[in-house]
Each structure stands twice: as structure tokens, then as C-alpha cells.
Structure 1
Amino acid sequence: MKTPISIRRGTVAAVFIDLQEEHRKDERYLVDGFGDILANVQRLQAAARRNFVPLYHFAYIVDLAEARPFHPVDASGKSAFSDKDDPLTAICAEVAPAEGETMLVKTEATAFGNGAFADRLKTAGIEWLVIAGVWTEACIDATVKDAVARGFRVLLVKDACGSGSAAMHQTAILNLANRLYGGAVTGTLDACRLLAGDTVDAWQVEGSVPLRFTYENAARLYDEL
């Protein structure tokens, strides 16, 4: 259900996950509607900067020198995605970190892999994380769930996330919304308003798994979030 929420200044950070060139240039890993996602991320980043919200940028980099059982590889033996030597792992220029912003590398799906990121946020007094990026059912899902498990409230910006298809993305958002305890789901415009200190109506989970979506109604329920 939608309820009014606001976020106290100084308690929020913005987290951007894997907005890398491979998702618009590598035919194997194209994200559906990536251009629109990047445009919404730009809006979020601008709102965060205007309101002195810290920005954290993550890139997924795979180094197969570390043991990774069953990890997919290409014909040359390199990682099939996000290989450490692939220039397409670069963050897209239009959403890249500005001077002074934090750029971090993760080696697994979640941004909370080694615990250091959570400790850093807690030390800074962060309670809310505005999360955007790709892929929704993979690295966004893992990061959101780990954030909640560590006691952070997550503002999941649905139209600033994406996956390989609309269906993959929408059902991933619905699955997260069903268990986004303590957090909320919004679109980009409302997220920008929250970053500015406004109060907005945002979707928050109530009860146990309220979104019983089907093939037929998933898109409608997604739009209603």
C-alpha cells in the first residue's frame, strides 16, 4: 500500500550498481531500455548532489584468478561477463562518479560482500539507501536484500533499475517489493523529491507477500507501485 514517507536529511546515501558499458554494448548482456534507465539515474544523481547526499558508485569486476566454481567463461577462458581486462566494465560516462565521489569495485553480486561498505555507512550515520542500477533480479536483488539484513531502509527506484527484458525487471521488482521490510518503492521523480526533503506517497509492504502476481497482472501491479 502507499503511505506518506519522508527521509531525514543527513541519514541517506545513494547507491548506483553496475551501470557499465557492457550493458549497452555487449550483445550478450544488453539491458532493456538502458538509455531511459541512465537518464533516470542522471536525475537521481543530480538530486543527490544538489541536496548534499553522498553517492556511492559500484562496478562489478570478475578476476578468475580467484576460484569461482561453475563461473561461465568465453572461448578464450575469460569471464563471460565483467572480466577485469574488458574495457566495457567502465562506468557509463554520463553516470560516472563526479570528483570526490566514491567509486568501489565489487567481485560478487552484492555491494555488501566483505562487510566494509556496511560499516562505512553505519559510521556515517546512514539509515536509508536509495538504490538504482542493473540487473534487477541479480545484483540489485542481492544488494537490496543484504542492505535490509544489515538494518538499512531501502528506497528502491523502480524505473532507474533494469534487466534483460521488461518481464525480468518487473517481476524482480515485485518480488523485492513483497519483502522490502522497512523500505519503500518509488519512481525517479518521487525519489528526487524525497532526496530534497519532501514527503511523498510511496509503496510499502504490509503483511506477508501482498503482491500475488501472475503472468497476466504483473505489469499492472508493477505500474501501480
Structure 2
Amino acid sequence: MPTVACNAGLRFEIVPATTALLAIDLQRDFLDPDGFVAAAGDDVSAMRAVVPNAVALIAAARAAGLTLLHTREGYAPDLSDMHPLKRERGVAGRAGPLGRFLIRGEPGHGHIAECLPAPGETIVDKPGFGSFYRTGLEDLLRGRGIERLVLLGVTTQCCVSSTLREAVDRGFRCLVVEDACAATTPELHKASIEAIYGENNLFGWVSDTRRVLAALRR
């Protein structure tokens, strides 16, 4: 089986039949200059910079026969699936250039053009940060015999880390592709990655696009 060289001299085995690539929140509201993140005053250039790596990894995973899943954070138009704490922050639902921010069905909620899911690939719509929160993701993965996850996407400190921790608590072996994830600042990204492999790789494995592609193309 192909193995990926990782941090601290470790290796992560990719078993195509039991490994899924999880592309997290590659949405216009997070990555488009007219999206939610940019409207909040954050620079999206660091996140846009990892899109080519995400594109390459998604293509290689398809070719290698991995299961592909794509997540989207978003809420019902009436915000009925948003808990009161998040509603109090008043983030989702505001009007923007791409429609109401983070509302399902609005242009900003959709995936960026470079990372559109292919026909037949699963899209997980999640009303929160973690991909397992109020979704059927765990049952879907168990039903397909998935034991290992390769994670990429945005943002490293929020939805990627939340999903990673949820997955590890459920017993999935997880590899985060460091340079296919990004945060709004390099400092947040660096701290989030270091937290993954701290304490003897507490939250799994970390590698980079070049090494993952080399393993997938064997």
C-alpha cells in the first residue's frame, strides 16, 4: 500500500478502499474576494494560495480510487438550524455581494469553480464548524468502510481542526495536508498545525502536498 512520509519521521498508509479525502469548506464565502471572510475585513490571499494544491490532491485522489467528500458550512434561510449562541453573533444571513452570507442556496454557499464536486461525489452540508456536527457523516463513512481520512481545506484553526478532532474521537486515522489548508493569518495556521502533531501526534499525522501526491500516484 502507498505510504506518505509525515512529520517526526512517521508514515501514513493510504489504503484506497478504506481511505477518504475530505475537502473542507472550499466555498466562495470563504475564498472569494466578494465572500463572507473578505467582507469581514480578512485577507483571503493566504487561503487562495492553497487552492492549486487542493485541486491537485482532489484530482489525484479521484484517479487513485479514494472516496471523495466535500463539506459546506451553511444554514437554512430562516436560521432554524443555527443555535442561539451563533445567532447572537449575527454572522450568517447578512446580505453580501454573493447573497446572504453562509445561507444554503445562495451563490456564496457554493464551492469555488476550481473545486467543484464531481457527479456522484458526496456533499456534506453542515450547520456548524465540525463536519460531524448534526450531519450523517459518521454513518456514511462507516457504511463505506472508511477508516482513514485525508483532510484539506479552510480554515485550519476552525473547520479543519474541528473536523479533525471530531474524527479522532470517533477512531478515524487522520492525515492533514499542511500546505493544502490555510487560515486567515499564517500565525493561526502554524499554531493549528503544531497542535496536531504536539504531544506525540495527539491528533494524527501531518504531511504536505508533494509527499501525498507521490503516494497517490504510485
Report if TM-score (shorter chain) is over 0.5. yes
> Is 1:66 the counterpart of 2:81 in the alignment?
yes
Counterparts of 1:158-169 in structure 2, within 5 Å, are 158-169=178-189
Residue 129 of structure 1: aligned partner: 149
The root-mean-square deviation of aligned C-alpha atoms, in Å, is 2.4
- The structure-2 alpha-carbon separation of the partners of 1:182 and 1:123, relative to structure 1 and needing over 3 Å to count, comes to farther
- The structure-2 alpha-carbon separation of the partners of 1:127 and 1:69, relative to structure 1 and needing over 3 Å to count, comes to same
Counterparts of 1:1-225 in structure 2, within 5 Å, are 1-23=8-30, 24-25=32-33, 26=35, 27=38, 28=40, 30-63=43-76, 64-71=79-86, 72-73=89-90, 81-84=101-104, 86-114=106-134, 116-178=136-198, 180-181=201-202, 183-196=204-217
Q: Distance in 1 between matches of 2:166 and 2:91?
A: 30
Letter in 1 for 2:128: E
Q: Distance in 1 between matches of 2:57 and 2:91?
A: 35
Q: In the TM superposition, what is the alpha-carbon distance from 1:182 to its structure 2 partner?
A: 7.1
Q: Distance in 2 between matches of 1:85 and 1:120?
A: 23
Q: Distance in 2 between matches of 1:76 and 1:111?
A: 20
- The structure-2 alpha-carbon separation of the partners of 1:10 and 1:90, relative to structure 1 and needing over 3 Å to count, comes to same
**Contact kept? 2:165, 2:203, Cα under 8 Å:** no
3-state SS of 2:54 partner: helix
Q: In the TM superposition, what is the alpha-carbon distance from 1:86 to its structure 2 partner?
A: 3.8
**Contact kept? 1:53, 1:195, Cα under 8 Å:** no
3-state SS of 1:100 partner: coil
Instruction: Report % sequence identity.
Output: 30
Q: Distance in 1 between matches of 2:55 and 2:92?
A: 36
- How many residues are aligned here? 197
3-state SS of 2:90 partner: coil
TM-score (normalizing by structure 1): 0.78
Following TM superposition, where does structure 1 have runs of at least 4 consecutive aligned residues deviating by more than 4 angstroms? 74-81
Q: In the TM superposition, what is the alpha-carbon distance from 1:88 to its structure 2 partner?
A: 1.1
Q: Distance in 1 between matches of 2:51 and 2:20?
A: 18
**Contact kept? 1:14, 1:129, Cα under 8 Å:** yes
Q: Distance in 2 between matches of 1:92 and 1:16?
A: 12
Residue 3 of structure 2: aligned partner: none
**Contact kept? 2:93, 2:102, Cα under 8 Å:** no
**Contact kept? 1:127, 1:152, Cα under 8 Å:** yes
Residue 205 of structure 1: aligned partner: none
Deviations 1:71-95 (A, max 9, x none): 2216986798413364211100111
Q: In the TM superposition, what is the alpha-carbon distance from 1:70 to its structure 2 partner?
A: 3.0
The structure carrying a bigger helix percent of its residues is 2
3-state SS of 1:190 partner: helix
**Contact kept? 2:16, 2:65, Cα under 8 Å:** no
